[in-house]
Amino acid sequence: MSQNRELVVFYINYKLSQRNYPLDHMDLLEPNRTDGAGAGSSEDQQVATHPNGTLNGTSPGTPPASPLRQQQLPDTANMDAVKEALRDSANEFELRYALAFSDLHNQLHITPATAYQSFENVMDEVFRDGVNWGRIVGLFAFGGALCVECVEKEMSPLVSRIIEWMTLYLDNQIQPWIESQGGWVSPTEIYEFTIS
């Protein structure tokens, strides 16, 4: 699993578990998995979580299976620190911009047919003037709010698609900037966005 996907899955899991929403609609398999194992089995559809939102049974230090996602993964302790900083920063972001996150469904007119276009339009606007850690936090906050909104509006099948859209946007649009900053290695910089 790439760092970006690991962080997206962690954050969406955290947001949904805050509201005690079931996590069975989250696709936690590697995107390029082709062995068919687990398709439809109840074991793979259940996701155990800690109260703090981390996934049981995941190994952040395990190299990714896909040759397309060969990012160097930092040690587990550092990724845990990045996850904590991301979670705290996104919570602060949501508090600051609570009005913008309230009732996304009516603001964006989200339907299964329009969800991707809404996501892409918001991301293009967020990153219109460039990339910084604060805007990346905004991507996570928006994606999390969008997933919560989809579950509340009985469109939970979109959650796994939103996870993929967030990951692809990070991989394709944001990753060069993240690498230029040294990667996901400085949780202090992520969190400093919220307190400055």
CA–CA dist 186, 150 (Å, integer): 31
Say how many C-beta atoms besides its own lie within 10 A of residue 72's C-beta.
7
Q: Which residues contact 99 (CB under 8 A, 6 or more apart)?
A: none
First to last CA, the chain: 32
Q: 151 — phi, psi (to 5°)?
A: -65, -45
What is the pLDDT, as a whole number, of residue 6? 95
pTM for this model (two decimals): 0.72
- State mean pLDDT over 177-193: 75
Is the pLDDT reported for residue 104 higher than 60?
yes
Distance of CA 130 to the CA centre of its chain: 20
Q: What is the C-alpha to C-alpha distance for residues 172 and 193, in angstroms, rounded to an integer?
A: 23
- For 158-174, the pLDDT digits (tens) are 999 999 999 999 999 99
Amino acid at residue number 143: G
Q: What structural domains does the chain harbor?
A: 3-195 (1.10.437.10)
Structure-block tokens of residue 99: 């009005």
**What is the separation of C-alpha 60 from the centre of its chain, rounded to a whole number of angstroms?**
15
